[in-house]
Amino acid sequence: MGRYLTTLRVFWIASLTAELEYQANFLIELVATAGNLVGSIFVLSLFYGRGQSLGGWSWEGALVVLGIYTLLEGITSTLLQPNLSTIVAHVRTGSLDFVLLKPIDSQFWLSARTFSPWGLPGIALGAGLIGYAAWKAGATPTPLTLLGAALMLVASLMILYSLWFVLAASSIWFVKIWNATEVLRSVLVAGRFPVSAFPAGLRAFFTFIVPVAFLTTVPAEAILGRASGPWLLAGGAVAIASVVLSRWFWTFALRFYTSASS
């Protein structure tokens, strides 16, 4: 375990060193994320313009959902995107060989190798929006709701990571397939809105097929202190199941890996 922590530190220092050669990126990313967020808030405000509500959610509640979405986007740009999108390249060029020859867990290496600071503005803006909107919504934090909220956020990250990892790992079979992770990213955009805002069919899809509901709506309800026990349990169960699935899928995929011929 200690070795993994040391390795993680070295990984992230090395990738920060590489990224910080391009300092201007930070400012550009901050402006882009803020612009995106303003756009999303504007779109959301259109739904509430005439005193209507979205799927039974108040304006402030919907903002919490949007905040969580922004936070997840930030984490995606910081960890998921830079790491998991390189799996495809590793498979294509055969450099996955080097990863597999290291005496360290290959899934760990592929998932944690890079830390890109450019998602940090998104994380900060998302967290800020969550705090502000929850306060405006009149949420009264108790230790129990805070714990529930934190657990649901972690569960949401576990689900997002697993979905992404499984898709990226499938490049072992479909080496040259379009980058399927981009498709996933556009489906996840649905997470900007509470899942109850969608028609019944889509709601079922976003709950059971691609569990977008567990990514933003369930954690938002936990933050607002109105999550029901069954939903929290379901969130936790889906999270654990997806991580186990990603783990199993990786060992399965590796059995098919024969590495690019040279």
Partner 1 sequence: MRSEPVRMAIVRAQGLGKTYRVADKQPGLAGTLRHFVNRRERLIAAVQEVSFSIEPGEFVGFLGANGAGKTTTLKMLTGLIHPTSGTVEVAGHQPQRREADFLGQITLVMGQKQQLIWDLPPLDSLRVNAAVYGIPPAESRRRIAELAEMLELGDELRRPVRKLSLGQRMKAELLAALLHRPSVLFLDEPTLGLDVNAQARVRSFLADYNRRFGATVLLTSHYMADITALCPRVLLIHEGRLFYDGSLETLTQRLAPCREVRLELHAPLGAEAFASYGEVETIEGREVRLLIPRERLTEQVGRLLADLAVVDLSVSDPPIEDIIGRLFHQGALA
Q: Which residues of this chain interact with partner 1, rule CB under 8 A?
A: 3, 6-7, 9-11, 14, 17-18, 21, 93-95, 97-98, 100-104, 109, 255, 257-259, 261-262
Residues 6 or more apart whose Cβ sits within 8 Å of residue 193: 44, 54, 55, 62, 65, 66
Closer residue to partner 1, CB minimum distance, 186 or 262:
262
Closer residue to partner 1, CB minimum distance, 92 or 226:
92
Q: Annotate 72-141 with DSSP letters as a single string.
A: HHHHIIIIIHHHHHHHHHHHHHSTHHHHHTSSS-HHHHHHHS---GGGHHHHHHHHHHHHHHHHHTT---
Phi-psi region of 51 (alpha: psi -120 to 50; beta: other; left: phi over 0): left
Closer residue to partner 1, CB minimum distance, 98 or 248:
98
As beta bridge partners, residue 54 has 57
Dist CA 3 CA 37 (whole Å): 39
Minimum distance of partner 1 from residue 201's CB (angstroms): 32
Minimum distance of partner 1 from residue 74's CB (angstroms): 23
Minimum distance of partner 1 from residue 96's CB (angstroms): 9
Closer residue to partner 1, CB minimum distance, 140 or 261:
261
Helix (H) or strand (E) holding 45: helix 24-48
Minimum distance of partner 1 from residue 9's CB (angstroms): 8
Minimum distance of partner 1 from residue 171's CB (angstroms): 17
Closer residue to partner 1, CB minimum distance, 10 or 183:
10
